[in-house]
A = this chain, B = another copy of it.
């Protein structure tokens, strides 16, 4: 150990400190790190190999290990705990445009029937689109509409609110607010006239939501 009170210009940090450093570097690294790499990144005078050896011993029997990958080093989950990692192995894909538009219409106009969704989107809604939203549990069936044919309606779920960080569907911004946030303008078509700002969906079912 070097004398802490009078460190020479090139005194290496104590070994415990070197070990901390290696621990942080391995944790944050995008790829396994070689000993040579470690040496380059540690302060002058450090002994990367020894610090690494200490670190390996410290993690023996723990939930993660320091393992050798090729000639480099990395943290890896202990193999016996692999079954806990299943949730990490999901491939996240963006929702299709049809699905996100359908979802937006349901969120803004709920409860809404398939025919109404098609009217607002101006195109037919394929069966798979709504099935996908149902499967994601972002959408569920609401009350049947009291109109000829008694069509089913769709509403958004608690999981939907959770995923989008909303307290309630009422908290979705209205058209005017979307415009104020620049979300409408960025999509405006060329030559778009500056339309009146009062085109909130006043007669749509969504207005029911604001009455309580």
Contact = CB atoms under 8 A, between A and B. Distances in A.
Interface string A25-41: 10111100000000001
Contact of A28 (B88, B134, B141): B88
A101 interface: no
Interface stretch (A102-110, A163-171, A187-195): A163-171
A22 B185 CA distance: 46
Nearest to A157: B165
Contact of A78 (B20, B84, B127): B20
Contacts of A24: 63-64, 77-78, 81, 84-85
A128 interface: yes
A140 interface: yes
A19 B166 contact: no
Contacts of A182: 127-128, 131
Nearest to A16: B61
Given A143-B168, A165-B141, A168-B143, A63 B131 contact: no
A167 B110 CA distance: 14
A114 to B, nearest CB: 7
5 contacts: A27-B64, A27-B75, A28-B85, A143-B168, A150-B210
Interface of A: 19-25, 27-30, 41-42, 61-64, 75, 77-78, 81, 84-85, 87-88, 114, 127-128, 130-131, 134, 140-144, 150-152, 157, 165-168, 170-173, 177, 180-183, 185, 210
